[in-house]
Amino acid sequence: MLPDPLLHLVELLARLPGVGEKTAQRFALYLVAEKSGTAQALGVALHELGQRVKPCQRCGNIAEVDEHGKAICLVCRDTRRDPALLCIVAKVQDLLAIERSGAMRGRYFVLGRLLSPLDGIGPDELPLQKLFERISGDGVREVIVATPPSVDGEATALLLARELSARNVVVSRIASGVPHGGDLEFADQITLGRAIEGRRSIDSR
């Protein structure tokens, strides 16, 4: 039904997260019909993406490549940040979520993946060497492990705590309990377990 170039575009768009075949077709037909140059601008933006945007060489966050070909992100460039405080996250989206909270005054390290024995991802598959180099190079004294409260996230946090305890840094885990406004009934058991373990007494005076 559709010409080949359009079919190809639909196929590519359908690979994006949350975009199904129908939505992809709707996007493609829109781009063909619209007259304000969005398709051309999109083409240029996508072309530049591969050349001008790369993972930060220091932390793995998204960074713009500078004139010397170096990719250092805005967080790593920010001199007001405390270099001795490092927050470890699984993926860039988590870093962005923590940044939005405004609670982190240090810098980050993006693992890119979590320990997952079932999927064959062991400690050797994590960028631990790079992490250790970062810790000794920057004189990091405190590490906050902000991996998600999932089975893989907990396993990764345990591994990191074990590996880092020998390196003279204080390691803490983000407190993760039942989400604010959340219902206990719908919290999974790990979340609930952590919420109970991390309980604090309420001063009723």
- Chain positions contacting Zn ion, by CB under 5 A: 56, 58-59, 61, 73, 76
- Residue 48: both structure tokens together: 């530049």
DSSP 97: H
Angle made by CA atoms 154, 159, 164, in degrees to the nearest 5: 125
Residue with tokens 């999932």: 150
Cβ distance to Zn ion smaller for residue 25 or 109? 109
Closest distance of CB 88 from Zn ion, Å: 13
CA–CA distances in Å: residue 91 to residues 97, 124, 145: 10, 18, 12
- Residue 86: both structure tokens together: 């490092």
Three-class SS state of 18: coil
Cβ distance to Zn ion smaller for residue 129 or 204? 129
Closest distance of CB 76 from Zn ion, Å: 3
Cβ distance to Zn ion smaller for residue 73 or 86? 73
- Rounded Cα distance, 73 and 126, in Å: 21
Cβ distance to Zn ion smaller for residue 76 or 145? 76
DSSP 112: S
Closest distance of CB 53 from Zn ion, Å: 13
Closest distance of CB 63 from Zn ion, Å: 6
Three-class SS state of 145: strand
Closest distance of CB 87 from Zn ion, Å: 12
Cα 35 to chain center, whole Å?
Answer: 36
Closest distance of CB 100 from Zn ion, Å: 17
Cβ distance to Zn ion smaller for residue 10 or 110? 110
Cβ distance to Zn ion smaller for residue 72 or 128? 72
DSSP string over 160-176: HHHHHHTTT-EEEE---
